[in-house]
Amino acid sequence: MGCTSSNIAAAATTTSNPTHKVGKSSGQHQVLFFPDPALPCRYGSKCRRGKNCEFSHERTSLVRFIQFLRHTKSSIDICVFTITCNDIAREIMDLYKRGVKVRIITDTQQSTNIGSDIAKFREAGIKVKEDHTPHHMHHKFAIIDCKIVMTGSFNWTRSAVLNNKENIVVTDVKPVVQAFTQEFENLWKAFH
Ligand SMILES: [Zn+2]
């Protein structure tokens, strides 16, 4: 059972996310742009390398992106052409391990590429579906807790983070969440 219009409606009245105070009206938005100057340092403020650390200690777009993932409470539906970024893959695994319901739709060709995290997700028990067509499952969106959509050009890859001009819109506008939910459910039914 995925997101239905009733739980989207319920979620819309209790919207919260890591970066915004909740107002009465819906309409929390955030736009992230890539590339980032560096991948985030895993040690954060505990890093001892100071200026010698090649990783970023700033609130980069990837850090903010990951914070959205990290605040998932009950479900995340991911529909992304390709996932190879280890920082993001680790976060998805962590969500799954703490009981979040994770569903992933991805592109068949991309899923077998070297560096793809799809096999790892499957081994861990995460439900993954593919398009199984010669065409591309080219979407890049995710629905968090039936109430937040993240969508844009951004593939969940290291080179998208570090090299590419990419964007992501994060929004809880209800009709947008409903439309993406419908698309996800349609694809989830159609693919295996
Ligand atoms: Zn560091």
Return phi, psi of residue 95, to 5°: -60, -45
Return phi, psi of residue 101, to 5°: -80, 115
Give the integer Cα–Cα distance in Å for 50 and 53: 6
CB atoms within 10 A of CB 148: 24
Query: Taking ligand 1, which is a single-atom ion, which protein residues have CB atoms under 5 Å away?
Result: 41, 47, 53, 55
**Residues labelled as active-site residues:** 138, 140, 145
Q: What is the pLDDT along the chain (192 residues), one digit of tens a residue?
A: 678 777 776 655 444 444 433 333 356 799 999 999 999 999 988 999 988 999 999 999 999 999 999 999 999 999 999 999 999 999 999 999 999 999 999 999 888 888 889 999 999 999 999 999 999 999 999 999 999 999 999 999 999 999 999 999 999 999 999 999 999 999 999 999
Superfamily of domain 5-190: Endonuclease Chain A (3.30.870.10)
What pTM value is reported for the model?
A: 0.87
